Amino acid sequence: MEINTEFEVIIIGGSYSGLSAAMALGRSIRKVLVIDSGKPCNIQTPDSHNFLTQDGKRPVEISEIARQQVLAYETVTLRKGRVTNGTKTKQGFEVGTDVGESFKAKKLLFATGVKDVMPKIEGFAECWGISVIHCPYCHGYEVKNEKTGMLANGDLAYDLAKLLTNWTGDLTLFTNGVSSLKPEQKNQLQERSIAIVEKEIKEIAHTDGQLRHVACNDGSIFPLTALYARIPFEQHSNVPQALGVELTELGHLKVDPFQKTNIPGIYACGDSASMMRSVANAVASGNLAGAMVNKELIDEAF
């Protein structure tokens, strides 16, 4: 079957933010292509929380409902694949995928998310999103009042510890090496009975991703129910930067309040362009981006 290669908008990334934008654009009768490589950042999490109407659902269930609803709009097409390159053309943009396909559109919208960079600690990656968690708003309620660890250091660790006192009074901070907390921060944590462990972590012992204990290099063991970790991330796709899209200091795609990047015709939404990592925020920013891309197309044609 011959496939269409020319669209008004190409959305790269077909998870929560990309599908939300696709819905706004589909309902605006725009010819939209969504290209998705099927690797959302929450893929390993058994239950997603804090998104109204879908609380406690499996992440994949939420995106499957979204896909069905979006594909009901006849002008929206979804293709599996990874966009590997993009170029500016006279009429807009052309993108190429890892299976050798190429597509053209007037506007591009990046909804490509971010990739978490796992520390090289045995067991960490297996527990990520299950019992090693990134956010108390997403998973804190389920482990409230439980024996909880934090893997972080410096100002980030202090801020995280302060935040987590809302969910549990049983907190241990693992700095995984010498602490870089300021003396006053250390005092404040200790005054609140938050233990600070500066030993290096050897392993996160678990059963099927459920944390049993944190084991340190000196043989000491700390039984825990959950461990929060503040880990670095990188953009899931380097195509925006290759097209000249600027990053913020923190490494997000830089957008204005209407999700527009510095490159005319290129927009971004979801985790790739926001500090607030949640399904609700991804859906909201996709919704806004879709409307703004549509407005730009209207303005150009009117």
Give yes or no for a contact between 140 and 167, defined as CB atoms under 8 angstroms apart: yes
Q: Which is nearer to ligand FAD, 39 or 182 (CB)?
A: 39
In whole angstroms, give the CA distance from residue 247 to residue 241.
8
Give yes or no for a contact between 95 and 86, defined as CB atoms under 8 angstroms apart: yes
In whole angstroms, give the CA distance from residue 142 to residue 138.
9
Hey, what long-range contacts does 81-84 have (CB within 8 A, 24 or more apart)?
A: 81/35, 81/36, 81/37, 82/35, 82/37, 83/12, 83/35, 83/37, 83/237, 83/239, 84/239
Residues touching ligand FAD: how many (CB under 6 A)? 41
The answer to the question of residue 232 lying near ligand FAD (CB under 6 A) is: no
Give yes or no for a contact between 63 and 40, defined as CB atoms under 8 angstroms apart: yes
The three-class DSSP label of residue 185 is helix
**Contact code string over 66-85 relative to ligand FAD, x by CB under 6 A:** ----------------xx--
Residue from the set 8, 11, 13, 24 that interacts with ligand FAD by CB under 6 A: 13
Q: Which is nearer to ligand FAD, 8 or 116 (CB)?
A: 116
Residues 94-113 close enough to bind ligand FAD by CB under 6 A: 111-113
Which residues have CB under 8 Å from 274's CB, separation 6+? 252, 281, 282, 285
Residue from the set 35, 150, 173, 227 that interacts with ligand FAD by CB under 6 A: 35
Residue from the set 127, 214, 279, 284 that interacts with ligand FAD by CB under 6 A: 279
The answer to the question of residue 45 lying near ligand FAD (CB under 6 A) is: yes
> What minimum distance in Å lies between the beta carbon of 178 and ligand FAD?
28
Q: Which is nearer to ligand FAD, 188 or 287 (CB)?
A: 287
> What minimum distance in Å lies between the beta carbon of 200 and ligand FAD?
24
Torsion of CA 15, 235, 203, 47, to 10 degrees: -20
Which residues bind to ligand FAD, rule: CB under 6 A?
Answer: 12-18, 35-42, 45, 48-51, 82-83, 111-113, 116, 128-129, 134, 138-139, 236-237, 239, 270-271, 277-280, 282
